[in-house]
Amino acid sequence: MEQRKRRFGDRSEGRRIRTISPIDRVSPYIMKTRNSSSNFIADSVDIEAMEKYIHEKRKEGLDDFGILHVLLAAYVRTVSQKPSINRFISGQKVFARHNIQAMITVKKEMRAESPDTVIKVVFPRDATATQVYAILNAEIQKNKQEESNFDDVAKVFNYIPGLLLKFVVWLLNLLDYFGLIPKGLLAVSPFHGSIYITSMGSLGIPPIFHHLYDFGNVPLFCSFGAKQKRYELQADGSVAERKHIDYCFVTDERICDGFNYASAFKLTKTFLRNPALLDTPPETVVEDID
């Protein structure tokens, strides 16, 4: 999909949406921060089909293909059909993001003392599950072998004295309000993007409702938990043991209405239940409103 010609009021990471309703245009001035505008949703999905799909992918050579890859691919596919969930608020205006940027916190090694790093991955809107896997794993391996750009920036901020750092963050917020943060900083910032995803399953605990960040413009935070076995009543009256994962979304309600969010999350769950749908690119990629 071709990017539209930039117009006055657009930002480097997205174009301003000009045809939203008056209430949607005014709401960012009333609900000024992401945390004061947060909505929370928790859901669960049967992973029988997902586990079979993951097993098949690993047999194809995608050795560490897992739930994270399926969830990311489902989100990417959902954005391709429901682009309103990839909007963001900056400078109290609503923007449609040019691409899909996912942030993920990973450990360089699976040890308690191993440092965390944040990777920022850009996905094409027509990506298949295999493409999502390849793009994500390449970025993970790169950041395990060397310092990430985010780590380099964090080190610089670490050397700034506290009072001066407070001023620097205030200045960055001011620049961000007017869309003047340098593109190089936006490219590595974990606070600017489409979605933040974290796995509580790797820690063996249920998913949490993780707050959104008031700095930056990430409108969605997703966490998912460990696999759970449940006994469920079947249509014929029998009881069967099923495997589920629970997941939570925290959303910025200002980017779109409840109908758009609901239809998007229903579509995401459809892909989680039937991940084979993610093996082929979408027939069309829907563009957001003007």
Percent share of the chain, pLDDT over 70: 94
Q: What is the pLDDT of residue 233?
A: 81
CA distance 221 to 230: 26
User: Which value, to the nearest 10 degrees, does the dihedral of the CA atoms of residues 20, 34, 264, 15 take?
Assistant: 40
Q: What is the pLDDT of residues 29-88, one digit of tens each?
A: 999 999 999 999 999 999 999 999 999 999 999 999 999 999 999 999 999 999 999 999
| Whole-angstrom Cα Rg for the chain | 20
Contact by Cβ (8 Å): 95, 193: no
Q: What is the pLDDT of residue 107?
A: 65
pLDDT band, residue 112 (cuts 50/70/90) = low
> What mean pLDDT comes out for the span 252-260?
96
CA distance 96 to 88: 7
Residue type, 280: T
Q: What is the pLDDT of residue 239?
A: 87
Which of the listed ranges 106-120, 163-177, 198-212 does the model predict with the highest average pLDDT? Answer: 163-177
Q: Which domains does the chain have, with CATH numbers?
A: 14-276 (3.30.559.10)
CA distance 162 to 130: 44
38-56: buried (b, 16+ CB within 10 Å) or exposed (e) per residue?
beeeebebebeebeebbee
